[in-house]
Amino acid sequence: MMTVSPNTEPAIRVRGLEKSYGKLEVLRGVDFDVGRGSIFALLGSNGAGKTTIVRILATLLKADAGSAGVNGFDVATKPSDVRASFSLTGQFAAVDEILSGRENLVLVARLRHVKDPDAVADDLLRRFSLTEAAPRRVSTYSGGMRRRLDIAMSLIGDPPVIFLDEPTTGLDPEARVEVWETVRGLAGRGTTVLLTTQYLEEAEQLADRIAILHRGRIIANGTLAELKQLLPPAKVEYVEKQPSLEDVFFAIVGDPGSDNPRTTSERK
């Protein structure tokens, strides 16, 4: 039987992670921890290396250097234990449009050899507010409903960790808010969430901690309040304006198209 590591250890630990494709350095020494039951946002633009990190943590890709662990298990030496510890939801909903919502859930529960798959499906349908839509074909679902169903499917078997790789890509604002509420609910039940996103507002709304990934390196890591402190104090004229996460992001990363992030001293 797989043993779960003590709760004092972080749910995810990454140290010195490197990955290159030929001469292209995608990851250049990445370090971060994710506390249990928290939402951790990995924020960066396209090509920053977010999905590469997720693929390494999911044992789908081998790192060139460094180490990574999920739920106390090393991804290189104990990949089977790692795979038993997480679920992965990619950028596009992996649901069968021909089947109904309930049939999708029952099918996955049976494939994972979960006891009483019908009861598991009904419980998840209630949790994700999909009971009324359960008999309908998924092809009739809205984007937000499909994504909620996709996340519900990933929770079958109660994994302690879930990777959400840009889960709101292509969704309209209303559907995005639906997914945000779903993610908050996951953390509220004790699930650890690693969220990759390029949407600044998404990280600001959801994350307990935010790491900014730029050109293969983590260049800032902290709570939203800590990241805001990287900017000079707000100037009070008529009304004090607190910096948004977008202000912090571009102040750290630099102007679009710039190869070098601005240092703290350069921002003062």
What confidence score (pLDDT) does residue 220 get? 94
What is the second-level CATH architecture of the domain 12-85+159-224?
3-Layer(aba) Sandwich (3.40)
- Please tell me the pTM assigned to this model: 0.78
Per-residue confidence band for 229, with pLDDT thresholds at 50, 70 and 90: confident
- Whole-number pLDDT of residue 208: 95
- Mean of the per-residue pLDDT values of the chain: 86
- Would the pLDDT of 186 be above 50? yes
Q: What is the pLDDT of residue 92?
A: 64
Is 80 or 127 the better-scoring residue by pLDDT?
A: 80
Answer yes or no: is pLDDT of 256 > 90.
Answer: no
**Domain chopping of the chain, boundaries:** 12-85+159-224, 95-158
pLDDT on residue 268: 46
- Read off the amino acid at residue 122: D
